[in-house]
Every structure is written in structure tokens, then in C-alpha cells.
Structure 1
Amino acid sequence: MIRIWLTFVVLLLTTQIFSQTKVTGTVKSSMDEKPMYNINVLLNPTNVSVTTDRLGFFQLSDVAPGDYTIEVNQMGYDSFVQKITVGEEPLELGDILLSYNPQSMNLGVISLSDEELSSDESSSQSSVGLLSASKDVFAQAAAYELGAYWFRTRGYDNKYSDVMFNGVRMNKVDNDRVDFGNWGGLNDVTRYPAEVTYGLEPSDYTFGDLGGVMYIDTRPSTMRTGTSLSYSLANRSYRQRVMATHNTGLNKNGWGFMASGSRRWANEGRIDGTFYDAWAYYLGAEKKFNDQHTLNLTVMGAPYRRSTNSPATQEIYDLMGTGYNAYWGYQNGEKRSERIKKNHEPMGQLTHHWDFSENSKLTSTISYQTGKNGGSRLDWYKGNNPSPIYYRRMPSFDDSSLAAWQNNDTSFTQINWQDIYTANLNQADGHGVYALVSDVNEDDILAFSSTLRSQLNDKTTLFAGVNYKSTNSEIYRELDDLLGAQFYWDIDDYADPGQSGNYDESNPNRKAYEGDRIQYNYETTHDVMDAWASANFKVEKFDVTLGGKLSNTSIQRNGLFDNYQYTNSYGESEKHDFLDYGAKLQLIYKINGRNFITANGAYYTNAPTVNDVFPQGRENNSSIPDLESTKVSSADINYILRGSKVKARVTGYFTKTADEVETSFGYLDFEDANLFTAEVLSGVDKQYFGTEIAVDAQLTTRIRAKAVASIGQYTYANNPDLYYFSDDYAEEGGYRYLGTSYLKDYKLAVSPQKGYSLGFEYRDPKYWWFGVTGNFLADNYVDISPSRRTDRFIRDQYGDLYPQVTEEGLRRTLQQEKFDDQFMLNANAGKTFRFGDYYMGISLTVNNVLDNKDYRTGGFEQLRVANYNNAQDENYMKTFGNKYWYDQGLSYFLNVFLRF
């Protein structure tokens, strides 16, 4: 009997094994029917996936009979979902055609806010480029709709997002933020990242951060072959753009070449006195030696020149309109700006792909980037401030100026270049009262990255990597233009009697000429080495990913000028070393092939940036006492639906960061003195929590609806320490401890904290579409001044409480300004055409269709208001009131492309 049962079991198992079959198919583009390489094909509910080969072919082996769903996804194409029934015979699906989504043509187009384009008031940058590449339902809407109005998902700073090219992290060491301008205009190269993660999701290529990871593989074989030409017309930062790309693909000898270039320009942008002139280039060469070894060479860069626009007080906007820009004036009948950003930081990379076994791959890259990044501004020596919005020109300070403002007398309301040249030419010895200078950063960045992916068995995958990055920076002020003068004194005209005033005591009473370095000159070195690893385990209905990191960062300053006020300005500082670590966990519970619950958690530390370590690096080696790495704790839980017609996600998240550093620069008005300072907050804790809801529904075969809601609360979570770094404290080492700044529960001025979007799209089978989306943004706040939230604000120079202080008055004075809620309407339309082997497309995106110009995209309290008495003066608060940036109203982007 036992033998009979054993025989029956063996026969049953054999039947099951041999009854398993395979599912095959070929993935092609619906536009040109060309095979699509490296496309992910998912078989649900098994969650087994494969990728297509260079012919677009895929094969799912050992599939048991039953009902399944095939899902195919590719960036820039509509998802393909089809139910299938597998029997005992192999199932051939034939050609699977992915429909190209023309809206994806704008992937990677960064439209920075006026605030973010300011060279002095804000160094933050948008992460829209990263989000727009994500497949996540919420991330797409946040990027294309809410992101057009400076909305940031979860309120995270750009420094918490990682952008990587071939394994090398591109974030800058001075502030840890991404400069998307380094590859601006190379849309055909960055359009389809190899990986985009959202939030804490694990990455195959790095440990990751709060804001996610975008990994770009620049091999020609991973990009579209053929030629692409495009032209764009816009009324944004630039007016016109042309792009051209040609990719040979891999030939029979294993060689592949790709070249891409673009130019974006505007003689004048949508804001008066601004211009834009940007180029971009990419060259890629790939050699596949055999099935194991591939070598890829990448050279790319994006030189640009552009002018920026100023923030202003509401007093000035009321007089001049929200499009007012104080950074320009007429010179010989033409508009000339004082604030011009210049950047060219080319990069070269050599990447080796080694498939050393069927299931294991090692990718290694050596990278070098160099270049120069600078921003100009007017400087003066024993002259008056030439800015038209200098406080002494304000009607609230001097009512005799009101008529000039009301009449828009451009010799008064804009920079008066004629007066500047006249002042310089009238100096008997030829010295300049005014000069145009640039604050310059020259980086030399050498990096190495090596990343391993290994499929250990059917249920376990290992990811690991090591990275090294060394950044040597030269930071200085350069004399750009003498503006008619013969030379410029490199002397501080604010020096006290008895002081030399020499910015460099080793070169006293120095006459400076165009191209010379003046006022400050120093170097920094930043070396970081890190190792990370993660492993993914599949256990029945669970996927578990565990990850960890360990890194060491070393930062040092070397002063090249011996500043007359400091004993620690010249020579090398002490070396600041930081050991950082972290751990991440993701759990995925697969309810079935369409419903999932995921949870992510992480705790890790990040080393301070160069600017955090040396807040007054232009002048000395001083640093904040007991500086520590930032601690990050974060978790989220998600319900995800991946239906054939409805996709949705509901998320709850909580994040806390501790021991951050924040720095602001400006003048402070105390009762007894004025002080120019770097205002540094140390030990800053922040808290972010909220919920995200996103639904993407295919209502009919042609109509699609998207709805998202982001409801967050982002606040300061403690009362940090405040330091002033100032020349006035040179004898004390360059800084003074001011005590506690009472910031707890104030809102973070990072983004609208609530955002809602509802959109509909009609897509016709004949390749034309139209869409409209309504967006509502709420709970946006002005950035607060820490000095106003200290004891010093309400006390005189002797420490006594001002007699005018009342609890009600103090509460009113310190109330954080909240911007009005706003509604914005967006629309887009387009069509694609086929002419034999040629494909053409046209698309139009219009943001802020209702031309709403009342939307304040950001603002900040001026540091100047540093004592309670001044804050009660109505005219004083008009003069030194909050400064804002406004949205400029309706904007459009028209794009036409030809591909063959």
C-alpha cells in the first residue's frame, strides 16, 4: 500500500512538473514597431519578472497552468496589462505594443522657481526632475501638476534626494543639493533612468535617502536608437530650445555611439531684465567585448549664463507690480543685469559592466568632474549702495522718493549704470568706487563607484557597493569688470580706525585688476568613503529587504588670504571627521497580484556639509562647537492597488531629522548697533508627517482620471541654539553664542503643506490627446527669522525687558505669516504622426491657465528686524517687511519633435 501511495505521489508531482510550460512574447513600440530592450515583464500573481533582450523578446519559464495577468512597464510609455490563461501548451503572446506617451517628452525639464533662481536668498533647488521620472502615481502628479507651483513632496529638502550617473552620486558637497543645471538640456540622455525610487524604497544602486534615488545609465545601448530632432517654444526661464540626438545602437562588432546636444535661450525671459543662454553636450561610446564585459565612455557638460530676479517687499510690489526685478538697469539704451550666473562643470566617466556569472553583475565607474560656477553682483568701496530697493530709497523710509516710484523713473527704480560709471571716472587716482564681482566655486571631483548585484537563489538577491569621492574646491571672489575705473582697492572700507583693512595682510594696500581674486580666497577638501549592502528575501507572500551603510567623511579648509581681522583665516584648519551609519527595512505583503501593503523604516546619519562646518568660510576657519551628523528617523506604510483599470496608493508617513544646521546671512538692527552676520542655528530638529492619496483610473478606453491629495504638517521640533558669526566677534574666534531660538512648532517654509490635484485626460487611438487638471495648494508659510525668537529680541543692551513688551503684542509680532490658498488650472494637448519611417509629435502644456499672479511662491522675514521696538514701528516694518517671490502667471511650453 505504501508503495502504491509513493508511486501515486511521484506520478502526481511529475505530472505537475511536466505540465508547466512557458510564456513568450516580444515587446515593441507602437509608434515604429521597433523592439524594446531591457523592459520589465511581470507575471502576477506569482510576482515573477523577466526583462526583454535586444530583440524585445522575453520568456517566462515553468509557468503552471492557470489564470494570470501580464504587466509591462516602461518609462515614458503607457502601462500594458493583459489577462492570460496558461494551459499545457506553450503560450505565444506575439507582439506587445507599448503606446508612447508624448507627455513624457518633458521629463527632466526643470522649471525652477524665482526663489530658487535667486543667487543669494535661497540655495535650494527643486527635485521635480527626479519625481517626474518616477512610475509612482502620486509622484507623477506631484511633479507635473503640483510641482509646477513649487510643491515639494513631504516637504523634504533637495539635499535628501540622490541623483546618480553610472553609480556616482552627483550631489554637491557644499550643501549636499543636486545641481540639475549640470545636465540641463540633455533630456534625451536623462529621459529614462534605469531606476527611480520614491521615498525610502530600497535601491539597487545605493543606500538611498528620504527623497528617493534616480539612477541614470548612460550607455548608448540602453537608449533609443536613431535620430531625434526637437524644437520648443516657451515663456519660462528660456524662450526657445533646440535639441538633436543620434544613437547608432550596438553594431555587429559590439560598438555603439551616441551624441546629443541642445541650446536654450532667451534674449529676455518672462521677467524684465532676465536672459538665458545655455548649451549642452553629451558623447557616449560603448564597446561590448563579449557577453561578460562592456566598457562605456561618457563625456557631458552644460555651460550656461543666465540672469536672476530679485525678491522684494510688498510695498514695492504694490507700486511696481509682481513682475518687478531690481537687478537690472539701462546702459546705453539696453537692459543690463548685475546678477548673472555662469556655470560649466563638464564630466567624464569610464564605466565597466562585468557580468561575471549568469546571475551576478559588477558595475564600476571612475569619474572626473571639473569646472567653474559663479554668480556676479555689484560691489562698492566708499560708495552708496546702488540697489534701487536699498532701504533708504523706500517710500516708507523717505517719502520724497514716492513720486519716482509711482512714475517708474527707471533712473531711480532700476540700477543706474550711468551714475556708476560717472562715479568711477571722477576719481582722480583712477580707483573704482564700484566694481562688478563674482563669487566663484571651482570644483575638482574625482570619484570611484563599484556596485554588485547577485541573484543568490530564487528567493534571495544581494546588492552591495563601495564609493569614494574626493572634492577639492577653490572658493574666491573674482573682479569681473572695473566699470570704467583703472583699478579697485582690495581693502575693507568698514575697517575700524587703527585697522589696516587689508583682506590679505600678505599683500597690503593692494590694487586689484580684472581677473584678480579679491576679498576672500580659500580652498576646501571633502573626502568621503562609504560602503553599503542590502538583501532582498522572498518568503511566501512577503518580500523583505534589509540594508545598511557605513561611511567616513573628512572636511578641511585652507585659507589663502590672511584677513586683517582674524588670526585663523590663513592656513589649514583642523580636520573634521564624521563616521556615519544607517539601516533600512522594507516589508511587502502581497495580498494578491493586485493588492499590496508595504512598510518602510530607516534610521541613519548624514555628515554635515562644507557650509555647515565653515559657516563663515570666506573669512576664517571657525566652526560650530560640538558639530554632529544629522540623525534621520523615518517610516511609512502604504496600501497599493495595481488593477487593470485602477491604480492607487494610500500612504501615511512620519519623519524626524535631528541636529541639522541652518545658516542665513544679513544685517541685524539692535538698539545699540548694526551687525552683519552669518546667523547659524545648530542642533535643529524638524518633523514631517502626513498622508498621501493617489488614484489613477481608466474610466473608459479613452478617458483617464487622476486624483491626488497630499496632507502634511512640517514643523520645527525643538528650540535650537543660535550663533552669530561676524567680524564684530573676531577677537572671540569669529562667533558668539546667542542662546536659544524658540522655534518649536513653527511651520517649515519648504512648500505648500497641503496639495490637491484632479485631472482628466482624453487619449484618442489616432495618437492625439487632451488633458486638464485643477490644483489647489494650501498652508504655505513665510520663512521665519530665528533672531526674533530669542530673548535678545525683547531686551535692551543691558538685558532689561523693553517696557513696551506685552504678551499680546509679542504674540502678534511673532506670528508666522501664512500665504493665501490658491487654485491653479493646467491644460495639455498633443498629437503624434507617422510618415513611413519618420515620426513626428507636437505637444503643448499650459500652466496657470487662469493667469493667477497673486500666488506667492515663497518669502522670508528679513533678519534686520532684531529688536521688539522696531517691530512696532509701522514705517520700519514696511521698509524691512517680509520679502516675497510671486508666480508670473500663465506659462506655456510647446514642443515639436521628429524621429527617424
Structure 2
Amino acid sequence: MDKLLLSMAISVMMSVALWGQTRISGVVKDASTEKEVYNLSVILVETGEEVKTDRIGYFQFVDVETGTYTVRVSGVGYLTHEQEVVVSNEPRIDLGEMKIVFNPKNEEIGIITLTSDELSADESSSQSAAGLLQSSQDVFASTAAFELGAYWFKVRGYDNKYNDVFFNGVRMNKINNDRVNFGDWGGLNDVTRRPAEQTLGIEPSQYVFGDVGGVTYFDTRPSMMRKGTSLAYSFTNRSYNQRVLATYNTGLMDNGWAFMASGARRWAEEGVIDGTFYDSWAYFFAAEKKFNDRHSIVLSGFGSPTRRSTNSPNTQEVYDLMGKDYNAYWGWQDGEKRSERIRQFHQPLFMLTHHFNISNRTNLITTLGYQFGKDSRSRLDWHTANNPSPTYYRNLPSYYAQLDDANPENVAEITRLWQTDQTVSQIDWTDIYNQNRNRTGAAAYVLAADVNEDQIMTFSTRLQSQIMSNFKLTAGLNYQNTRSEYYREVLDLLGGNYFVNNNAFQDTRYNMDEDENRQVMEGDKYQYNYIINHQRGDAFIQGEYTSTKFDVTLGMKAAYTSVNRDGKYRHEQYLDRSAGKSETYDFVDWGSKLQVLYKLNGRNFFQLNAMYASYAPTVDEIFPNARSNDYTIDNYVAVKRNGAVETLENGNNLKNSKILSTDLSYILRAPRVKGRLTGFYTRFFDEYEKNFGYIDVTDGSGGQENLFGAEYLYNVDKLFFGGEFALEAQLTTTLTLSAVASVGQYTYDNNPTYQRFSDSNFIDGDEGTAGQMVTFGSTSPETAYMENYRLAVGPQQGFSLGLEYRAPQYWWIGATGNYLAANYLDIAPFKRTSSFLTYETASGTQPYPQSSDEALVRSLLEQQELSSEFMLNLNAGKTFRFGKYYMGISANVNNVLDNRDYVTGGFEQIRLGNLPEAMDEGNQSMFGPKYWYDRGRSYFINVFFRF
């Protein structure tokens, strides 16, 4: 009797627990082929619960409480399908067959993934060419991101500046170089996991006109993101060691409100490279109010206060001495490692967005955005003192080896000290402090920061209307007003009394409007201070026509850009062109896009994309030496020829860049095989390039001058063409084979114009035109013979072969072999000018005698191709479900074989500015190319909980 009562009680309690809970199931099929579709995402929108379709297209949700739900089915290459279901008291609801339409336009939509390597790269270096890593369930895009992208491969070789990133219509690309600082939202993976849209290349966007590298658009509405709580912990040996992430989302509640908050921290006391650290916090919040079916408003914002150190590129001589983890930017201070190169930034963005459903066919999205904050990069600065860098050429063994009185024993001793004495091989902070304390006047050394403070206001609106069943119209308007202040400030006097605001090397003052004896203290600005005022407005319109066999999309844009510089210092060398507002430079841009999709049948598709557009130059391109003056390449330039001063006019060279791009794809969608074959062609016209550094050139008497300045190229044409292949084959219900290949050739396509701007060489009032810039090594801007040289954009060829096993019990394991080739060193343009082979004398320009040796010259100017390398990656993971609770663990290991020979990038130093200097073997070692090596085997382990 007791057992019977107990059994009845348990039954009653189970019935009560299950009362009002239902199981929802269905089968998803391709509308054209009637075949079941595997691995599609099925979401209960109101709860955020997500499942995947299995091998027969089946899915199910269990324990669904009473209520009204939206079942959303989506996947790469398919149009999103939604179906409403009402759950009352029934134990099971079978939705039957749900037909989903395949559309290759959606082929590249996916998620954006930011690696720790990308976030740790110093954007001022060539390593910033890592690119915007993209991923999706499309095998090519996901492989380019997670496999090849880990080794600095970029899809089609495009620079980061050609990837547009938007949050609710607010463009995140910076005005100085058009690149994106992904660290502004670093760590907020739950917010950026699924963009509202992501396109590859020149495919049309539903929100903006878009650039040649594609568009990533984020929608920050809480109602569009997963409901519930998510907790995650990650452990890695990359730029940071640990990460924690927490997110809570109420979802859309009955009162029309939705709230979401997310926070993260990533940190490492020391990264895999010596002397590096990482400390980054991140936050996101959003409040959404849905007033009715027509109006909703979202207030959202995010930021990521970050402080991290960077690592140095080095010559091969230094790597041979110290190993491939060597970093020259740190030294010991009071028993702790201290770095001179620290980047610190926090530039939060706040947005107010209105979503207006004008009708069932028309909607309007409008956003007001405001971003502000500070981005600083520190470094040591000095006045009448020696360069403190251990890799300064006078500190290297090769320097002592090439002295006239070189002693092999001295060279051996310097080599020994480098390898045993860290006061030699690293920054000697103790000596720096001692020198400052022993000075009664200005400090010899300070720790300074180059700072950028932004204030950015944005207005964005986009209207989209399904005018007819087969025609959709999209139009948008964007306006952005940016005020950027740039300056250098003293962070730490390092034991000194004060610093000075003058150039000891040139014996000139940075600001003639201040007291010559002004003492610069910690927190004070010095050396340069100017403001850039930048306005950008653009409008676009796009029409999409669909039919049984053809889909055609045509879009056009018009844009206006206005830029001026407002200098706060009156530089002694540029009295009339440094302080006050400059001329305002205005640019008008146009562009058009076309996409034609031909649907041969439900499995075979052909897609053509084409684009022609112009783009205004960035701030860095308009003002080559903005820290000192407001000159552009269109201004008059004073030069010295054989002791006499001449004034030359460069002509109309400041102009818009242009891009012509097209690609053609064949797309296969068979039940067990997916494939894509693409050919692409892109040409850039009238581009700009700039680089800073020291260079040794000959002066008018045949002697040597060491000058610091900006190398500047304009009228640069570049050519990108190649092919892409991707194949994914379902060998069995659990085993998948993937193969990807990308073969490209990316080159300079003409001989651009070269000019150098330098404070080290100027015309003073006694010689002619006061305060005018001069070129050097030539009487005027000259030709750089760079046609057919390869662009340093990372590997131009990438191949990947992967095999993945996914068990029905929700665990997986995969391995991928990757081969990267055709990676080239970035060349120094000045070495490709005629001035590299000649020098000035009283009787005119003369060639160096050695220039007649054609084989010698060719060997010195030959571009270095970096080695091709094989990399093996492994990944594994498993997910668990405990009632309403989910848990998952995953692990990725890159470069399993610990290949340390792979050079991710590098550049020729510009120091060797003439043929005799470049021929010297000692110089070739001291001023040889600088490289970054891959960091070796790396891992990333992640654990998450969701409920």
C-alpha cells in the first residue's frame, strides 16, 4: 500500500511538472530539391533556444512552456523561414515539412571572429595587414578565417581599410587610415556573434553601399539576440592567457521592454612573447522599448578599456642572437619587466536607434551615434642623448664588425654580452633613470605617448520597401562629423626634472608661440598638437529584381568628404603652414554595383558581381607630415639644386582613388556536396602609401646625410586577380571532408610617383622661401620603378584540406592541414628610384660607378619571397544539456607541429638610401629586413554555460 501511494504521488508530481509543457518538432527540406537539409539553425525566437537539423532534416524542442512562439529556420545559402506556433496543453506539436528556399546571395553571411593575434597587432606596423577575419558555414569563408586566417592569410589580399564595419548604421572605420580598431568591442563575443549581415567582397548589402572588401553590419536590439544567461571561460597561450565573459538578456517581455548586458575581461601578466602583457575589459548594454508593431527604440552602447604592450620586429641578426621570442621593447626595473611600447585606448560608442515599420512592406531604421575617447601609444623619447633601444644599429655586433679598426675579439665580446647581459640586450631602465637624475636641466629621456582623441557624431537612416513581389528598393543616407585631436604628451619624466619642446637634432623649436624656456612636465603636450575636422556624407540607392531564372541587383552611391587641419603649434620650420586652419579639401565620390544571379536549376547557380567606385583620400594621405605642417602633395615645394633654391609646383595630384572589381562564381548545392568556384579581378587606381623612417642619402657635395621623414607614394595602381575553390563533401552521416584553395597574384601595376617629406631638410629664410618643405635625393618628385613587384599582403596562395567527425552524441573532432605560399617582403620604394643609383655634384647628377653592374643592382633590388610552410590544426569539442541548462567545451590547437620557421610578414628598412650603402655587407646585416615570426604552437580552450 505504501509503495502504491508513493508511486501515485510521484506520478501526480510528474504530471504537474509536465503540465503546460510541449514538444515541438519538424523536418526541414529544400524547396527545390525536396531533399532534407542538414545542420540548419532552428531557433525559438522568444527563448533564444537553438537546435540543429540532423541528417534527415529533423529537429525538436522539448519542455516548451505554454505561449506563442516564432520558429525561425536559417542557414548559409538559404532564405530565413519563420513560422508561428501556439502552445497550449497538447503534449506534442508536429510542424510537418518546412520548406526553405536556397539563395546563393546569402552564401557568405556568417559571424565575425577576432583572434587574439589580430587584437595584439600594432596597427602602425606591417603586421596590421592581418585583415578582417570572416567566417560562416560556407566552407571557403570559414576556412579562410579559422584555418588560413590564423597565419595572416587575407581573402583576395585586400587591406583592412576596404572592410566596412557598422553598428546600427554607425561606421567604425577611422578617418586617419580608414581601418577599424576591432579592440573597441573586443571580448563582446555574445554581442557580435551573429551580425545582421555579412557580405564577402563586392556583393550587394541590404544596409549600405559597401566597399570592395565586404560589409559587416551589427544590430544591437536585445530582441534579436539570444534570451537568457551565458557564462564562458577561456584559457589560451596567445596574446592573453584568460578570458571571462558573462551576458544576460531578458528578451522581449510582455510590457514591450527588453534589456541586455554583457561584460568581459581578457588578461595576461605576460604573453607568449617576452615582456608583453594584456589587460582588457569590455562592456555592453542595450535597452529596447517596443511601443507597438510599428515603432521600437533602442538605446545601446559599448566600450572596451584596454591596456597592452606590443612586441618588436627584428632583423635576422637579432633573432639569431636571441631567438624568435625576442622583444626589444622591455627591460628590467626594480625586479619587474617594463615595456616602453604600451597601447592604451577606450573609445566608447552610444547609439539611439528607431525602428519604424511604416507598413508590412516598408521599414525605416534611423540612428544617432556618438563616439569619443582616447587612443595612445607610448615610446621612449630623448633629448641630446643616445638612442636607448638595444637594437639600435650601434649596439649590434655587426656594427663593430665593420668598423675600420674592427677586432674579432671585440665582436665576440659584444655577442657574448648580448646573450648573457640583459642591460645590453634589453632596455636599461636603471641607466635611463641615473642619466636623468644626474642632469641639472632638462631630462635626457622621457616616456611619451602619441595620442589621438576623437569626438564622432553620426546620423544614419535607411529605408527599405518591397514595392512589388519581385522588386525591392533600398535607400540610405549617412553623415559623420569627426573632430580628432592629435598630440604628444609626457607620461613619465623617469626621474628627470622636466623636458623641453625643441628639436636638438635640428636646433629648431616646435612652437614659436610659447616661451622658449618652457618646461614640459608630466601630462603636458609637446612636439605637435593639431586637430583634424572631417565630415563625410553619403547616399545610396539599390534595386533588386527577382524572377524564376534571374535575380538582378543594381546599386549606386554618391559621397562628399570635407577635411581641414587646425594646427595649435607654430613650427619654426613652417612658420606660415603650421598654426591655424588649413585650406579645406573637398572630394566628391561616385560608385555603382551590379549583381546578376542565374539559377540554372535548384542545384546549379552562376553569379556575377561588378563594381566601380571612387574614394576620397584619408587624412594620412592628404597631409603627409601633419605633425609639423599642413602641406599636401598639391602645394608648391621649394627644393635646393646645386646650392640654388627653386620652387616647383607638383600639379593636381591630390585626387580620389578608384576601384574596378568583378568576380564570377559557379555554385553547386547537391544533397551531399557543396562547392564554389570563383574567379576575381580587382584593380586599384591612384592610391597612396606612406611610411616613416630614417634614410641615408648623399648631399649636394657627395657626403652623407641621415634624415628622418615620411616616404610618400601617390598615383599608385595595384592589380589583384586569382581564383578560389571550395568543396564540402558529406562522406557519411558523421564524416565531412572539406577542401579549399585560393591562388592569387597581387602586384603593383604601374610606376608611381615618389616624394619624401622631412623636417631634417628645409629652406630657411636666408636662402629663399621661408618655411617651405623640400624633397631630397632629387630635384623634384620622381618615379619609383615598382611595376610588377608583389604586394606585401600576406600569403597570396593558400590551400587547406580538412576532415571532421561529428557524432550523434554532440561531440566532434577535426583536423586540417594548411599550406601557405607566395608571401613577399614589403619593399622600400626609395631603393627603386633613380636617386638610389645617383648623387648630386657641383656639375650635376652623376651615377655611382657600381650602377653599371646590372647583375649587382638586380640582386640588391630583388624582392625577397618568404618561405612556404605547412601548418596542422586540430579542434575538438562537446556540448551537453541538463534540462534547460546547456554546457559546452571546445579546444583548438594551431600549428600543432610547432613550426617556428614561418615568417608572417616583414619589410625592408629604408635606411640604405644609396647604392654604396646597400652594397656594404655590414649594412646589410645592421639595416637588413625586419621580420615577424609565427609564435609557434598555440591553443584556445573554451567552456560555456547557458540557461
**1:502 Cα offset (Å):** 4.1
Is 1:841 aligned to residue 843 of structure 2?
Answer: no
1:508 partner SS: coil
Report the counterpart of residue 372 of structure 2 in structure 1: 370
Q: 2:747 aligns with which of 715, 728, 750?
A: 715
Q: 1:432 aligns with which of 443, 448, 470?
A: 443
2:682–2:720: 8 Å Cα contact kept in structure 1? Answer: yes
**1:109 Cα offset (Å):** 3.1
**1:506 Cα offset (Å):** 3.0
2:623–2:632: 8 Å Cα contact kept in structure 1? Answer: yes
Report the counterpart of residue 7 of structure 1 in structure 2: none
Matches within 5 A, 1:210-221: 210-221=212-223
Report the counterpart of residue 591 of structure 1 in structure 2: 600
Q: 1:801 aligns with which of 805, 822, 847?
A: 847
Report the counterpart of residue 590 of structure 2 in structure 1: 581
**1:462 Cα offset (Å):** 0.5
**1:136 Cα offset (Å):** 3.3
CA RMSD of aligned residues (A): 2.7
1:37–1:56: 8 Å Cα contact kept in structure 2? Answer: no
CA shift digits 1:402-424 (9 cap, x unpaired): 43444331010000000000000
**1:490 Cα offset (Å):** 1.3
- The code of the aligned residue for 2:490 comes to L
Is 1:112 aligned to residue 114 of structure 2?
Answer: no
Is 1:126 aligned to residue 172 of structure 2?
Answer: no
CA shift digits 1:813-834 (9 cap, x unpaired): 1000000100000000000111
2:816–2:873: 8 Å Cα contact kept in structure 1? Answer: yes
CA shift digits 1:510-566 (9 cap, x unpaired): 110000001000000110011001100113300000000000000100000111111
- The code of the aligned residue for 1:93 comes to G
Report the counterpart of residue 48 of structure 1 in structure 2: none
CA shift digits 1:417-469 (9 cap, x unpaired): 0000000000123x210000000000000001001111011110011100000
- The code of the aligned residue for 2:801 comes to L
CA gap 1:123/1:524 in 2 versus in 1, 3 angstroms: farther
1:375 partner SS: strand
Report the counterpart of residue 898 of structure 1 in structure 2: 945
Structure 1, unaligned stretches of length 5 or more?
A: 1-21, 42-52, 59-70, 81-89, 98-103
**1:124 Cα offset (Å):** 3.1
Moved more, 104-113 or 305-314: 104-113
**1:401 Cα offset (Å):** 5.4
Report the counterpart of residue 804 of structure 2 in structure 1: 761
- The code of the aligned residue for 2:380 comes to L
1:124 partner SS: helix
1:319 partner SS: helix
Matches within 5 A, 1:772-787: 772-787=815-830
**1:73 Cα offset (Å):** 1.0
CA shift digits 1:263-292 (9 cap, x unpaired): 000000000000000000000000000000
Report the counterpart of residue 876 of structure 1 in structure 2: 923
CA shift digits 1:89-127 (9 cap, x unpaired): x99426899xxxxxx99953323359x723543373533
CA gap 1:210/1:226 in 2 versus in 1, 3 angstroms: same
State percent identity of aligned pairs.
52
- The code of the aligned residue for 1:111 comes to S
Report the counterpart of residue 271 of structure 1 in structure 2: 273
2:48–2:227: 8 Å Cα contact kept in structure 1? Answer: no
CA gap 1:78/1:578 in 2 versus in 1, 3 angstroms: closer
Matches within 5 A, 1:76-91: none
* Distance in 1 between residues matched to 2:563 and 2:44, nearest whole Å: 52
**1:30 Cα offset (Å):** 7.3
Report the counterpart of residue 487 of structure 1 in structure 2: 498
- The code of the aligned residue for 1:783 comes to D
CA gap 1:363/1:239 in 2 versus in 1, 3 angstroms: same
1:797 partner SS: strand
CA gap 1:448/1:54 in 2 versus in 1, 3 angstroms: farther
**1:836 Cα offset (Å):** 1.5
**1:34 Cα offset (Å):** 7.5
CA gap 1:79/1:352 in 2 versus in 1, 3 angstroms: closer
1:199 partner SS: coil
Report the counterpart of residue 254 of structure 2 in structure 1: 252
Is 1:454 aligned to residue 481 of structure 2?
Answer: no
* Distance in 2 between residues matched to 1:299 and 1:875, nearest whole Å: 54
- The code of the aligned residue for 2:660 comes to S
CA gap 1:661/1:192 in 2 versus in 1, 3 angstroms: same
Report the counterpart of residue 689 of structure 2 in structure 1: 662
Moved more, 119-128 or 289-298: 119-128
- The code of the aligned residue for 1:546 comes to L
**1:709 Cα offset (Å):** 0.3
CA shift digits 1:596-621 (9 cap, x unpaired): 10000110001100110011000000
**1:872 Cα offset (Å):** 1.1
- The code of the aligned residue for 1:896 comes to V
Report the counterpart of residue 544 of structure 2 in structure 1: 536
* Distance in 1 between residues matched to 2:359 and 2:899, nearest whole Å: 58
**1:337 Cα offset (Å):** 0.2
Report the counterpart of residue 89 of structure 2 in structure 1: none
* Distance in 2 between residues matched to 1:219 and 1:600, nearest whole Å: 31
Report the counterpart of residue 104 of structure 2 in structure 1: none
Matches within 5 A, 1:166-185: 166-185=168-187
Q: 1:702 aligns with which of 699, 717, 734?
A: 734
CA shift digits 1:270-328 (9 cap, x unpaired): 00000000000000000000000010010110010000000010011011111110000
CA shift digits 1:555-611 (9 cap, x unpaired): 100000111111211111100000000011000000111211000011000110011
1:853–1:888: 8 Å Cα contact kept in structure 2? Answer: yes
* Distance in 2 between residues matched to 1:504 and 1:339, nearest whole Å: 30
* Distance in 1 between residues matched to 2:392 and 2:630, nearest whole Å: 31
CA gap 1:677/1:574 in 2 versus in 1, 3 angstroms: same
**1:29 Cα offset (Å):** 6.6
Q: 2:863 aligns with which of 788, 792, 816?
A: 816
Is 1:610 aligned to residue 619 of structure 2?
Answer: yes
**1:37 Cα offset (Å):** 9.6
1:833 partner SS: strand
* Distance in 2 between residues matched to 1:408 and 1:139, nearest whole Å: 47
CA gap 1:409/1:120 in 2 versus in 1, 3 angstroms: farther
1:200 partner SS: coil
Moved more, 739-748 or 116-125: 116-125
* Distance in 2 between residues matched to 1:836 and 1:403, nearest whole Å: 69
CA shift digits 1:136-168 (9 cap, x unpaired): 331111001000000011110000011110111
**1:180 Cα offset (Å):** 0.4
Q: 1:571 aligns with which of 570, 575, 580?
A: 580
1:423 partner SS: helix
Matches within 5 A, 1:609-688: 609-625=618-634, 626-671=653-698, 672=703, 673-688=705-720
**1:636 Cα offset (Å):** 0.5
**1:57 Cα offset (Å):** 3.6
CA shift digits 1:665-724 (9 cap, x unpaired): 011111331111100001100000000000112111101111100000000000010111
Report the counterpart of residue 4 of structure 2 in structure 1: none
What is the TM-score with the length of structure 1 in the denominator?
0.89
- The code of the aligned residue for 1:837 comes to K
CA gap 1:623/1:477 in 2 versus in 1, 3 angstroms: same
CA shift digits 1:207-227 (9 cap, x unpaired): 111111111000000000000
* Distance in 1 between residues matched to 2:658 and 2:208, nearest whole Å: 18
CA gap 1:296/1:28 in 2 versus in 1, 3 angstroms: farther
* Distance in 1 between residues matched to 2:208 and 2:42, nearest whole Å: 34
CA gap 1:228/1:809 in 2 versus in 1, 3 angstroms: same
* Distance in 2 between residues matched to 1:253 and 1:692, nearest whole Å: 50
Report the counterpart of residue 403 of structure 1 in structure 2: 413
- The code of the aligned residue for 2:266 comes to R
CA gap 1:637/1:531 in 2 versus in 1, 3 angstroms: same
1:136–1:198: 8 Å Cα contact kept in structure 2? Answer: no
1:804 partner SS: helix
**1:255 Cα offset (Å):** 0.2
* Distance in 1 between residues matched to 2:51 and 2:618, nearest whole Å: 38
Q: 1:227 aligns with which of 213, 226, 229?
A: 229
**1:856 Cα offset (Å):** 0.4
- The code of the aligned residue for 2:749 comes to A
CA gap 1:401/1:165 in 2 versus in 1, 3 angstroms: farther
CA gap 1:401/1:413 in 2 versus in 1, 3 angstroms: farther
Is 1:417 aligned to residue 422 of structure 2?
Answer: no
1:452–1:465: 8 Å Cα contact kept in structure 2? Answer: yes
